[in-house]
Chains A and B, each alone.
Chain A
Amino acid sequence: MPAPIRLRELIRTIRTARTQAEEREMIQKECAAIRSSFREEDNTYRCRNVAKLLYMHMLGYPAHFGQLECLKLIASQKFTDKRIGYLGAMLLLDERQDVHLLMTNCIKNDLNHSTQYVQGLALCTLGCMGSSEMCRDLAGEVEKLLKTSNSYLRKKAALCAVHVIRKVPELMEMFLPATKNLLNEKNHGVLHTSVVLLTEMCERSPDMLAHFRKVRQLSFSQLVPQLVRILKNLIMSGYSPEHDVSGISDPFLQVRILRLLRILGRNDDDSSEAMNDILAQVATNTETSKNVGNAILYETVLTIMDIKSESGLRVLAINILGRFLLNNDKNIRYVALTSLLKTVQTDHNAVQRHRSTIVDCLKDLDVSIKRRAMELSFALVNGNNVRGMMKELLYFLDSCEPEFKADCASGIFLAAEKYAPSKRWHIDTIMRVLTTAGSYVRDDAVPNLIQLITNSGEMHAYTVQRLYKAILGDYSQQPLVQVASWCIGEYGDLLVSGQCEEEEPIQVTEDEVLDILESVLISNMSASVTRGYALTAIMKLSTRFTCTVNRIKKVVSIYGSSIDVELQQRAVEYNALFKKYDHMRPALLERMPVMEKVTTNGPAEIVQTNGETETAVLETKPPPSGLQPANQANDLLDLLGGSDITPVIPTAPTSKPATAGGELLDLLGDLNLTGSPVSAPAPQIAQPPFLLDGLTSQPLFNDIAAGIPSITAYNKNGLKIDFTFERSNTNPSVTVITIQASNSTELDMTDFVFQAAVPKTFQLQLLSPSSSVIPAFNSGTITQVIKVLNPQKQQLRMRIKLTYNHKGSAMQDLAEVNNFPPQSWQ
């Protein structure tokens, strides 16, 4: 049989194929030839055939029948065979393959081979893709090689050890003695890989970390000074052609050392102090004209920010970031924004100085840069700059990509909520968001806005007028239409009477108003929910308008036979109101009472203002279908055994409690209307004002009280809950806690519910969470806001209860949070 064609020949041939089909044909032909050659156990050409197979594998064709052949090649004595064999193994024989383990013996033998290049191959293969079993079997060999004086092998063994530790963390201890002398090497390769090994150990095990920080034995000199010394030598030494990159000596090693120093210095005063000087030196002496220098500076900044460095150093670091921001190179700007985002919590004022540059980045063309600039901007908004920042952010909302709009809108709402200089400004801002990005706004926004409007009594006329004008031209944006419908229903009388003070009042007749509401009802663009709003608004106007009641009656009765069940039910009930209960109608459809800010639900919910809880509150009424089930306060109470802890009902759109909340409810209860429990005339009001979402893994608002440290309140089974704090300037006994729940496991956690309870002297208000699903791999978070009123300035304690579904089973846990920082309650 003729010799199989050579690899290069094959490649050349395949490249001449003009179509995919032609290529496939050639490949199939060659594969058949290779297969028969394998069957014949042809030793001479096995290497060549496998090489060709690997090429075809790269083109995307199946190559699994070559797996065993790779094993045979590895076992061969010829170096050429081994080289291709190991390459094939790394490409085809990952740990998911059945025959993977068969390599173990070959690798073991080769680890002890007389030729260092063969040993190198074995180490490389093991270090790239060895399975846990393989690592366990061969760890001893690796450890032996770690102590050899051959630097070629030593560096490979070090990285192999890193891989072993990653696969089988328990084996870490085993490598500890070998690390003693690693840093005494002169060889940069060994130094670099040793630093990587030490980094891996320190990152994985706090014990190791503690060990390396201190002096243990006489022969084991302290790690931090050693690293500092090496780094110093690198910087001070003259030109070394072998390791030079654009005038900087071995930047790879420098960066790795800086990273290890970061881990060693974190939360450790002594270590941090020992490195202050060298960090300052690196920060000031490194050339910034090329990417290399900036890479080192970047790492230096990260280290400075993470350890307990002195403030001068921190300012230096932030200034470096500021300079980065002005750099023309996009990569550098990107990196600067990322770092600033990490540091904005702790060094807020310093970052504020660069605010204008950050805002400029909003206009950048690069999507990643824009996103980071947006997140950072939100973090920097405070009472002083809110007007200017909002202008920029609204402009950004106008022009940004759709994927940003939802997050941007939510962020704007949040910032407006916290820092609005005036009610009118607030309403204007929200209206602007609704009109520019109305369809991207989250569903929570509607009830929030409605509540906001209710609370700004003097602005009602202005608001309803603006909203009316907004939907006159275009009623396709659902959230906007919903809010507008609600307002018109509520304040329609102000609209037609032309009472607006803030603006030029417009002339509107009752019929015109009803026209627009009816168009919303009829329009194909309106969602079912929106129609509900419109119908209810029309109904409410029956008590506010004087001349068009008949028209309203007609509209309502038409929808009594609507296909949409929700609309039909409402229409029928409203009809009943007209007919049998007309005397009740005015009272029922009366103006909504102003919702106090302390309570977060509409009139359908119990007011929780004092420490004296009405524990009977949320007990028995089952929630109506379609609304979120109420979190039963009773559970928490039962669990706490009625101790001095006062349970708080987390706010969620809920059932109708039997006890008094508003006269409306009593009336409705008595009426015994048809069908299931009727939602209050304005159904979606029962939503808290705060709009939170997992924009980033960091809280977006800034710490007015200049850095109250955040805490991890709970961390178990992959679920981590962090608390960040903010104190209100206006009311010093209020602490606002934002919780962020993240999930580091591989499966999402669903139906997540967070409940909290505090001692009796406190008041707690729990607002609606951003969602009930925590995505896996820390790829998103749930945020929720807790407001704590602590008039007696007592030490804050909290008991929390978590329920969620994970991996198909329901999980539940109770915990106590006691580690509140003093600044959060004093």
Chain B
Amino acid sequence: IHFILLFSRQGKLRLQKWYTTLPDKEKKKIIREIVQIILSRNQKTSSFVDWKDLKLVYKRYASLYFCCAIEDQDNELLTLEVVHRYVELLDRYFGNVCELDIIFNFEKAYFILDEFIIGGEVQETSKKTAVKAIEDADMLQETVEEYMNKPAF
């Protein structure tokens, strides 16, 4: 996977994860382009779009579009499953996740994604394990009091 984008039906970006290095300007341009392409596709089209030398796999869940860019030799149908799995993880963690959850807790969305995918490849195929890891890590996060009292270094 080269990158993952989450955006709303109005084209507002909710999450961007890049697994390749590109200049900021380039990223912005790509995002604009892809959002436009996907938002203009109607219901009857397939979930795959040829774009430059990559394939875009996208799926809409409620008001959010999830879009992955994969290489030529990657399996498109499996990527749909990857997207679905990510949504399931979010759902399990937040409990009936909706777009607002992702807006207000975007950093958690990133953490969950990082527990599922590293470097563009899936690292954990068990829902239970992935979510448990996040929850355990959450436990490690200091409470505000602890935070104030512990020295920084």
Q: Which residues of A approach B to under 8 Å, CB–CB?
A: 7-8, 11-12, 15, 43-44, 51, 54-55, 58-60, 75-80, 83-84, 87, 90, 94-96, 115, 117, 120, 123-124, 127-129, 152, 155-156, 158-160, 162-163, 166, 188-189, 192-193, 196, 242-243, 245, 250-253, 255, 259, 291-292, 294-295, 298-299, 302, 330-335, 365-369, 777-779
Residue of A8, A94, A95 most packed against chain B (CB within 10 A): A94
Distance (Å) between the CB of B141 and the closest chain A CB? 5
A367 touches B45 (CB 8 A): yes
**Is B141 a contact of A58 with CB atoms below 8 Å?**
no
Contact A78–B129 (Cβ < 8 Å)? no
Q: Most chain-B CB neighbours within 10 Å: which of A59, A158, A368? A: A368
B residues less than 8 Å from A192 (CB atoms): 122-125
The interface-forming segment of B62-70, B90-98, B145-153 is: B145-153
Contacting pair B45 A366 (CB below 8 A): yes
Query: Do residues A128 and B137 form an inter-chain contact, with CB atoms below 8 A?
Result: no
Q: How many pairs of A and B residues are in contact by the CB < 8 Å rule?
A: 182
Provide the residues of chain B in CB contact with A295, threshold 8 Å. 75, 77-78, 80-81
- Find out whether the CB atom of B106 lies under 8 angstroms from the CB atom of A330: no
Q: Are B137 and A159 in contact (CB under 8 A)?
A: no
Asked whether A152 and B119 contact (CB < 8 A) given A55-B106, A192-B125, A331-B77, the answer is no
- A365 in contact with B44 (CB, 8 Å): yes
Instruction: Give the residue of B21, B136, B147 whose beta carbon is less than 8 angstroms from that of A117.
Output: B136
A51: which B residues are within 8 A, CB to CB?
A: 107
Q: Are A188 and B126 in contact (CB under 8 A)?
A: yes
Given known A55-B106, A189-B125, contact A252–B81 (CB-CB < 8 A): yes
Q: How far in angstroms is the closest Cβ of chain B from A516?
A: 43
Known A60-B28, A294-B77; judge A779-B52 contact (CB<8 A). yes
Would you mind naming 15 contact pairs between A and B with Cβ atoms under 8 Å apart? A8-B104, A12-B104, A60-B13, A83-B137, A117-B140, A127-B118, A155-B124, A189-B126, A291-B77, A298-B77, A299-B78, A334-B48, A334-B76, A335-B48, A368-B46
Q: Is the CB of B52 within 8 A of A124?
A: no
Task: Tell me if B39 counts as interface (CB < 8 A to partner A).
Answer: no
Query: Contacts of B47 on A, CB cut-off 8 Å?
Result: 330-331
What CA separation (Å) do A450 and B150 show in the bound complex? 87
- B105-148 vs A, CB cutoff 8 Å, 1 = contact: the mask equals 01100110010001101111111110001001100111000011
With A43-B152, A127-B119, A335-B77 as contacts: A368 and B50 at CB distance below 8 Å: yes
Point out the residue from B18, B103, B114, B141 that lies within 8 Å of A80, measured CB to CB. B141
Decide if B15 is an interface residue (CB 8 Å cutoff). yes
Nearest CB of B to A243, in Å: 6
B53 within 8 A of A: yes
Which of chain A's residues have a CB closer than 8 A to the CB of B15? Answer: 58
User: 3 closest A-B pairs (Cβ-Cβ)?
Assistant: A295-B77, A330-B46, A43-B152
Picked from A54, A80, A365, A369, the residue with its CB within 8 Å of the CB of B142 is A80
**Could you tell me the distance in whole angstroms from the C-beta of B17 to the nearest C-beta in chain A?**
8
A250 and B28 contact, CB distance less than 8 A: no
From A15, A44, A87, A162, B111 is in contact (CB under 8 Å) with: A87
Are A196 and B121 interface neighbours, CB within 8 A?
yes
B61 within 8 A of A: no
In the complex, chain B residues whose CB is within 8 Å of the CB of A331:
46-48, 76-77, 80
Interface of B is mostly: mixed
Contact with A along B1-38 (1 / 0, CB 8 A): 00000000000011111110101000010000000000
For chain B, the bracket of interface size reads 35 or more
* Chain B residues whose C-beta falls within 8 Å of the C-beta of A777 in the assembled complex: 52-53
Residue contact A251 to B123, C-beta cutoff 8 Å: no
Pairwise interchain contact A368-B49, C-beta atoms closer than 8 A: yes
With a cutoff of 8 Å between Cβ atoms, the chain B residues found around residue A243 in the complex are: 125-126
Give chain A residues whose Cβ lies under 8 Å from the Cβ of B16.
58
Residues from chain A with a CB closer than 8 A to the CB of B104 are: 8, 11-12
Which residue on B lies nearest to A255, using beta carbons?
A: B78
Return B77 CB to nearest CB of chain A, in Å: 4
Q: How far is the CA of A302 from the CA of B78 in the complex (A)?
A: 13
A129–B21 touching, CB < 8 Å? yes
A159 and B124 within 8 A (CB) = no
A333 touches B119 (CB 8 A): no
A95-B21 contact, Cβ under 8 Å, with A334-B46, A365-B44:
yes
Query: Are B118 and A124 interface neighbours, CB within 8 A?
Result: yes
Chain B hits for A160, CB < 8 A: 118-119
A94 CA / B24 CA spacing, docked (Å): 10
Q: Is the C-beta of B87 less than 8 angstroms from some C-beta in chain A?
A: no
B110, A189: Cβ atoms closer than 8 Å: no
A162, A250, A779: the one within 8 Å of B125 (CB): A250
Contact between chains at A245 and B50 (CB < 8 Å): no
Q: Contact between B126 and A94 (Cβ–Cβ < 8 Å)?
A: no
CA distance in complex: A55, B103 (Å): 9
Q: Which residues of B contact A155 (CB under 8 A)?
A: 123-124
B129 touches A242 (CB 8 A): yes
Cβ contact within 8 Å between A77 and B153: yes
Alpha-carbon separation in the docked complex, A376 to B45 (Å): 19
Tell me if B142 and A78 are in contact (CB < 8 A): yes
Q: How far is the CB of B115 from chain A (nearest CB, A)?
A: 8
Closest chain A residue to B23, Cβ basis: A96
Task: Please state if A94 and B137 are interface contacts (CB–CB under 8 Å).
Answer: no
With A117-B136, A189-B124 as given contacts, are A54 and B107 in contact (CB-CB < 8 Å)?
A: yes
A159 to chain B, nearest CB (A): 4
**Residue in chain B with minimal CB distance to A249:** B125
- Are A83 and B111 touching (Cβ within 8 A)? yes
In the complex the two chains form, is B107's CB within 8 Å of A255's CB? no
Query: Taking the nearest CB of chain B, how far is it from the CB of A139, in angstroms?
Result: 14
**Other 20 A-B pairs with CB < 8 A, given A117-B133, A291-B77, A298-B76:** A44-B148, A55-B106, A76-B152, A87-B107, A120-B137, A128-B19, A128-B114, A129-B21, A155-B123, A160-B119, A163-B118, A189-B129, A242-B127, A252-B85, A295-B77, A299-B78, A330-B46, A335-B76, A366-B44, A779-B52
Smallest CB-CB separation from A241: which chain B residue? B128
Contact check: which of B80, B118, B129, B141 meets A79 at CB < 8 Å?
B141
Residue on A nearest B42 in the bound complex, by CB: A365
A-chain residues with CB within 8 Å of residue B78 when the two chains form the complex:
251-252, 255, 295, 298-299
User: Measured between C-beta atoms, what is the minimum distance from A329 to chain B in Å?
Assistant: 8
The distance in angstroms between the C-alpha atoms of A75 and B49, with both chains bound, is 42
B141 engages A83 (CB within 8 Å): yes
Q: Decide: A76 near B153, CB < 8 A? Known: A129-B21, A291-B77.
A: yes
- The chain B residue with its CB closest to the CB of A80 is B141
CA distance A253 to B121 in the complex (A): 12
Q: With contacts A162-B119, A243-B126, A365-B45 known, is A252 near B82, CB below 8 A?
A: yes
A295-B15 Cα distance, complex, nearest whole Å = 26
* Chain B hits for A58, CB < 8 A: 13-16, 106
B151 neighbours in A (Cβ, 8 Å): 77
Give the residue name and chain of the A residue nearest to B77 (CB).
Answer: A295
B130 — nearest CB in chain A belongs to which residue? A189
Q: Which residue of A lies closest to B45 (CB)?
A: A366
With CB as the reference atom, state the residue of chain A lying closest to B48. Answer: A334
CA distance A266 to B89 in the complex (A): 36
Please determine whether A162 and B129 come into contact, CB atoms closer than 8 angstroms.
Answer: no
A166 partner residues in chain B, CB cutoff 8 A: 119
How distant is the Cα of A80 from the Cα of B121 in the complex, in angstroms?
26
In the complex, the chain A residue whose C-beta lies closest to that of B114 is: A124
With A and B bound together, what is the CA distance between A115 and B85 in angstroms? 27
User: Which B residues touch A15, using CB under 8 A?
Assistant: 103
Closest CB-CB distance, B32 to chain A, in whole Å?
10
Q: Taking the nearest CB of chain B, how far is it from the CB of A453, in angstroms? A: 38
Of the listed residues B13, B17, B48, the one surrounded by the most CB atoms of chain A closer than 10 A to its CB is B48
Question: Per a CB cutoff under 8 Å, which of B45, B107, B119, B122 touches A330?
Answer: B45
Given A77-B150, A242-B129, A331-B47, is A163 in contact with B119 using a C-beta cutoff of 8 Å? yes
Q: In the assembled complex, which residues on chain B have CB atoms less than 8 Å from the CB atom of A299?
A: 75, 78
